[in-house]
Amino acid sequence: MPAAPTPTTRTRRQFLTLLGISAAAVSCGTATATGGSASGPAAAPGKQITALKYQGAVGAVTLPELAADLGFLGNLTLDWVGNTISGPQDIQSAATGQTHFGGAFNGAVVKLVAGKAPVKAVISYYGSDKDTNLGYYVLEDSPLRGPRDLIGKKVGMNTLGAHAQALLDIYLSRGGLSRAESDKVEALVVPPVNTEQSLRQKQIEVGVLSGVLRDKAVAAGGVRPLFSDFDLLGAFSGGTYVMTERFIKENPDTVRTFVTGVGKAIDWSRTTPREEVVARMTEIVRKRGRNEDVSTLKYWRSYGVAAPAGRIEEKEFQLWIDWLAERGEIKKGRLNAADLFTNEFNGNGKG
C-alpha cells in the first residue's frame, strides 16, 4: 500500500483569517475570476438564470445531481465547474459569485454571515442519523477510550473550523477538558480519501470518517468508533445550501424550482429501496464520464437530513451561534438564527 500524504496542520486562527478575508471581499462586492460578482454569475437582463454553476464531489452524487437526474429540476440545468475541497470553500465560492450555490456545515454558514457575506441558507442537504453520521475512529487496538486520552494526539479531518472540529470541541468539553487542555488536541487537515490510510499507517491517532468512506473502512476491519456526532447530538441536519441574497431576489422562480426539486430528491432517497438509490447513483457517476471509482457507492445509506424535504429548523443554526459565541468567535447576540435561512422557496410543504 503506498504511503498516504502527510497530514498538514492549519491553526483555527489561520482558517478564520482566510474566511474573514473572503467575507470582506464579498461585502465589498469584489469581482471574481469568472467575471461574476457577489450576486453570482449574471443572467441576461430581465431573465432568470436557469443554468446553475456548482461544485461536485469525487465519486459521490450530490442531492442537486440526483434531483436533476430524476427530473425534479424542471427547466434548470447544472453546470459543473469542478469539485469542492471543503464546505467552507464551497460556500465561499457561492458568496463570491464563482458558483450559484454551495453547501457547508451550518456553523461555517454562521461564520460567513457574521463576516458580512450576503448569503442565506435555502435547504438542508446533509445531516446525521443512526445510519449516516460523522464518526471519530481509532485503530482497534488503540488505547484511546475517552476525551482525556486525546490530549497530545492527532485528529485528522477534512477541514478546520467546520463540522468535524466543532463536534470534537463539544466532545472534549463534555468530557471535562478545559480550554487549555482541549487546545493540546491537535486537529490536522487530511483529505477524506486519505484519512483511513493515514490512520492505519499511524500518521494520526484519530480519523474522522463519514458516509461511504466510513463504511468502507469499517468493512475492512481493524478500526473502531471512539464517538460520533449522532452520539453527541442525536439526529440533526448539519449543513445547508446557500445562495446570495441578491441572486435569490433576482431569480425567485429558479430558486423555488431548485429548492423544491432538491427537497423532492431528499424524500425520494428516503422512500425508495436503498439498492435502487445506489443503482441510480452508480449510473449517474458512470455516465458523467469523470473516471471516478464507483465501488464506494455500495456503502451509501442515507443523506441524513432530519426534516422532510430538507426544511430548515431554527435550532439547527442556534446551536452553532451559541457555540461560536461561547468561544468568542462571534459576538453574542449579534446574529438572529431566523435571519440566516428561509423555507419560503421549498414547495414541498411541511411534511
Domain coverage including residue 185: 135-233
Given a cut of 80, whether residue 35 has pLDDT beyond it is no
Please provide the distance, in angstroms rounded to a whole number, between the alpha carbons at the two ends of the chain.
48
Question: If pLDDT is split at 50, 70 and 90, which confidence band does 339 have?
Answer: very high
Position 44 scores a pLDDT of 61
Sheet of strand 102-105: strand arrangement: 102-105, 236-244, 119-128
The answer to the question of residue 344 being in a domain is no
Question: If pLDDT is split at 50, 70 and 90, which confidence band does 67 have?
Answer: very high
Given a cut of 60, whether residue 14 has pLDDT beyond it is no
Q: Are 241 and 198 found together in one domain?
A: no
Q: What is the pLDDT of residues 123-142, one digit of tens each?
A: 999 999 988 899 999 999 99
Given a cut of 70, whether residue 104 has pLDDT beyond it is yes
Q: How many domains does the chain have?
A: 2
Q: Are 117 and 169 found together in one domain?
A: no
Average pLDDT, the chain: 88
Domain C-terminal end among 233, 253, 270: 233
Grid coordinates belonging to 110: 454562521
Domain C-terminal end among 233, 258, 281: 233
Contact between 242 and 91 (Cβ < 8 Å): yes
**Amino acid letter for position 81:** V
The answer to the question of residue 181 being in a domain is yes
Query: What mean pLDDT is predicted for residues 37-44?
Result: 52
Q: What is the pLDDT of residues 272-319, one digit of tens each?
A: 999 999 999 999 999 999 999 998 898 899 999 999 999 999 999 999
Q: Are 297 and 326 found together in one domain?
A: yes
